A and B are shown apart, each in its own frame.
Chain A
Amino acid sequence: MVTRFTMLERLAKHVTNELVVTNLKGTAHEWHYLHQKDSNLLYLGMGMPTPAALGLAMALPHRRVISLDGDGSILLDMAAVPTIGQAQPKNLTVIVFDNQCYESNGALPTPTANGTDLTGIAKACGIPKAKTASSADEFEDAAKTALTTDGPHFITAKVEKGTKKVPIIMTYGKYNKYMFVKHIEKTEGVHILSSIKATGTSYTPNKEYFKD
């Protein structure tokens, strides 16, 4: 088996302007090290990256969206998977790094260590383009296909335990959110932050107060 970092290196070769949502801890640190962009939304809690990525994909159907999730995280709330099967977003790729354990808190096993088949679950939930990749080449091929063809795609990347020693992200959620949203505003030509005018609320700033 290969490391998650090796697979992320392979993925990074093919990612340009895609929007990437990541799981927390090792996945976030490694991806941030390899691909430091404002188009990354990093460090989402367990069970949250994939449904958040689905919301993004539905909001921006012309943009490719990638969820970098983990086995423990997606198992926490499997309800995201049939929701993807229901929505059928063509622009969404879910990559689950399956190290078969809860690595960040001591590496106790997840159910995938006892045979739970995440790819099989995804297929049964209406995602036919689901596959398992166990080698770096197999993963890179699957990722390339996912980023160039209609989805939804679901890749279970079988990885060994272990996190690469990379610099820890020195940021926090609100800062990351603003950078991400500003990136969306800039690339999509939309106004997201505090768009009060769009609601019809009238508010006229005191120009005298602000002039200095």
Chain B
Amino acid sequence: MKEETAQAIIEGLKEAGVNFVVYMPDSFFYDVITKVKEDHGFTSISVPNESVGMCLCAGAWLGGKKPVMIMENTGLFVASNAITRFHQPFGIPVLMLISYRGDAGDGWWMVTAIGHAFEPALKSLGITYELVDNPENAKRAIQLLQTSAEVSEELQAVVFRKEGQW
């Protein structure tokens, strides 16, 4: 990822008021995560799985933070128990930044099935999402969806396409 791309994502998070970052280490977001860890404006923590991560974000929101969960799309399926049993019935808003494995052009055979299942899963879980493919619209989507999350008290996801200008 280019320096300016990582910087745009960080700026988007800051301008949206996000101050609590939970991440499942992911190669696409490596540079963003590195910047987050170095920035004292964020409380950050890595998690061993996305279900724990989403619950951590929920607790942080209840405590007054503005959380974001950074993860690969595979983790949506890991987190689906927490999403359907906690975030949705309680109405807990969390912004998610998700890298899109199995997207058009992804050359790894193992993620093809994830690619098929991912967007239908987002829809069936009631998660509003925006597909982004360059730093400028990623930054804008982060700001817009954070506002939507707060107002709707629902989950919102910015989905980073595989073949974007990153």
List residues of chain A with CB under 8 Å of any chain B CB. 19, 21, 41, 44-45, 47-48, 51-60, 63, 77, 79-80, 82-83, 86-87, 172-174, 176-177, 180-181, 184-185, 188, 190, 192, 194-196, 198-201
Contact = CB atoms under 8 A, between A and B. Distances in A.
Q: What is the interface of chain A mostly: helix, strand, loop, or mixed? A: helix
A55 B146 CA distance: 19
Interface residues of B, number: 41
A199 B147 contact: yes
A52 B86 contact: yes
B163 to A, nearest CB: 30
Nearest to B86: A48
B51 A47 contact: yes
Contacts of B120: none
Interface stretch (B31-39, B62-70, B99-107, B124-132): B62-70
Nearest to B59: A55
Contact of B58 (A55, A176, A199): A55
B150 to A, nearest CB: 6
Contacts of B143: 199
Contacts of B67: 55
Interface of B: 15-17, 20, 22, 43, 45-49, 51-53, 55-67, 81-82, 85-86, 89-92, 143, 146-147, 150-151, 153
Nearest to B89: A173
A56 B146 CA distance: 20
A188 B64 contact: yes
Given A51-B51, A58-B56, A79-B49, 17 more contacts: A44-B86, A45-B82, A47-B82, A55-B58, A55-B63, A56-B63, A77-B51, A80-B55, A82-B48, A173-B90, A181-B62, A184-B62, A190-B64, A194-B150, A199-B143, A200-B15, A201-B147
A82 B153 CA distance: 29
Contacts of B17: 195, 198-199
Contacts of B53: 51
A58 B60 CA distance: 7
A77 B85 CA distance: 14
A47 B86 CA distance: 10
Contact of A79 (B16, B48, B91, B150): B48
A83 B47 contact: yes
Contacts of A194: 150-151, 153
8 contacts: A21-B59, A55-B20, A55-B63, A58-B43, A58-B56, A79-B49, A176-B90, A195-B150
Nearest to A80: B52
Contact of B63 (A59, A77, A80): A59
A131 to B, nearest CB: 23
Indicate the member of A41, A47, A55, A77 with the most B CB atoms within 10 Å: A55
A59 B91 contact: no
A176 B65 CA distance: 18
